[in-house]
């Protein structure tokens, strides 16, 4: 299953440095969308609402065929891994 995540510049730098997704201390999960378009929609909302810096979209492959889904931020479908 291919999943997508909108990442801020600091998380993108961390991914480039360590060649993997990591959680900061105190964070147990990461949210992923099921489509690139939904990740872009989330990123645009965050930039507009909070003044966040531009996001990058990363894609990952998951060995999980089905993951429980949640809805966040005006209907963006996400899975938690």
Band (pLDDT 50/70/90 cuts) for residue 24 is confident
Contacts of 43-49 with C-beta under 8 Å, sequence gap 24+, read: 43/6, 45/73, 45/74, 46/6, 46/73
- Length of the chain (residues): 81
Q: How far apart are CA 62 and CA 73, in angstroms?
A: 23
Give residues with Cβ within 8 angstroms of 77, minimum separation 6: 33, 34, 35, 38, 69, 70, 71
pLDDT (tens digit per residue) in 36-80: 999 999 999 999 999 999 999 999 988 766 555 666 666 667 676
């Amino acid at each position: 299953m291919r999943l997508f995540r909108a990442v801020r510049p600091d998380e993108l730098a961390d991914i480039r440095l360590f060649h993997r997704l990591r959680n900061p201390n105190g964070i147990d999960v990461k949210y992923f969308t099921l489509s690139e378009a939904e990740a872009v929609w989330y990123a645009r909302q965050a930039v507009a609402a909070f003044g966040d810096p531009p996001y990058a979209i990363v894609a990952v492959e998951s060995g999980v065929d089905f993951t429980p889904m949640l809805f966040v931020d005006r209907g963006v479908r996400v899975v938690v891994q």
